[in-house]
Amino acid sequence: MGLAQAKKIVLYGLVIFVLYTIIKTPERAAELVQVGFEGISDAAKSIGDFMTALIS
């Protein structure tokens, strides 16, 4: 099995898991999305703080 085929299988599995989670527990899925966005937001803020510190 090639690496590309393994990636495709993992991606399909992830999509199926996400769809299952959304269908079975939409409230939990919404919480996970919110946590994900908060993490991205925190990371972006940290990078901004770092860049500001470099310039100062």
The pLDDT profile of the chain, 56 residues, written as one tens digit per residue, is 688 898 999 999 999 988 888 888 888 888 888 998 999 999 999 999 999 999 98
- So what's the pLDDT on residue 32? 84
- The overall pTM is greater than 0.85: no
47 token code pair:
């990078």
Rounded Cα gap, residues 46 and 35, in angstroms: 16
Instruction: Calculate the dihedral angle through the C-alpha atoms of 46, 40, 8, 18, rounding to the nearest 10 degrees.
Output: 150
- So what's the pLDDT on residue 1? 67
DSSP code for 41: H
| Cα angle 14-22-10, degrees, rounded to a multiple of 5 | 5
